[in-house]
Amino acid sequence: MKGYVFAIDAAIAVIIAAAVIAVSYSYSLSSFPSGMEWVSAGRIASDAVAVMHYNGTLQSLNEEDIESALNSILPENLYMSMRLDIYKSNLDFLNSMQINQDMQGNHKKGRWFFMVFEGSEVQKFAMLEYKVGFR
């Protein structure tokens, strides 16, 4: 049995070294998010809100219209929820509106402010807060 202790010692060392190399290899090849996909998701969410503002969908303050427009605009891999806090022209709080179920988990947030006019008169203000993330 003389010398076996060295052989076991060597075997353990080899196993540890091989394991370290294998783990570092697989770790290096695993894909890390570059961060750009979150930047892109944030931009698309901001685009969606801007477009709905520019074509008047948001100003309708119609929950179904906004939800349907939002879901048709968004790419399939993204999910977005919105909360609108609506104020009268004298800044008294009027009501809130939730578009899509409030997003849980990892998300990026943004805000948009807009006014609703009747003729040239401001009727309402709305503060929109949105959350966007991946499905």
Partner 1 sequence: MNPKDKLKGQIISLDFIVGVIIFLVLFGMLLTTFASISDYSAYNEQRREMEMATSAILEIFAKTQGYPLNWEESPSNATSIGLASSDRILDNRKLNAFLSMDYNTARNKIGGAYDFQFRLANNGSSFGQEPSGSMVVYSSRIVLHGNSAEKMEIRIWRHS
- For partner 1, the closer of residues 8 and 14 by Cβ is 14
Nearer to partner 1 by Cβ, of 87 and 114: the residue is: 114
Residue 18 as a binder of partner 1 (CB under 8 A): the answer is yes
Q: Is 24 in the site for partner 1 (CB under 8 A)?
A: yes
Report the nearest approach of partner 1 to the CB of residue 104 (Å): 24
Q: Which residues in 88-117 contact partner 1 (CB under 8 A)?
A: none
Smallest separation (angstroms) from partner 1 to the CB of 63: 18
Told to check if 75 binds partner 1 by CB under 8 A, we report: yes
Can you list the alpha helix ranges (DSSP code H) found in the chain?
4-29, 36-54, 63-73
For partner 1, the closer of residues 76 and 92 by Cβ is 76
CA distance 66 to 80: 12
Partner residues linked to 67 by β-bridges: none
For 112, residues 6+ apart whose C-beta sits below 8 A from its C-beta are: 46, 49, 50, 53, 58, 127, 128, 130
CA dist 95 → 60, 86, 88 (Å): 14, 5, 9
Pick the closer one to partner 1 by CB: 39 or 122: 39
The span from the first CA to the last CA of the chain, in angstroms, equals 61
Residue showing tokens 């849980």: 104
Residues lying near partner 1 in the complex (CB under 8 A): 3, 6, 10, 14, 17-18, 21, 24-25, 28-29, 32, 34, 36, 39-40, 43-44, 47-48, 50-52, 54-55, 69, 72-73, 75
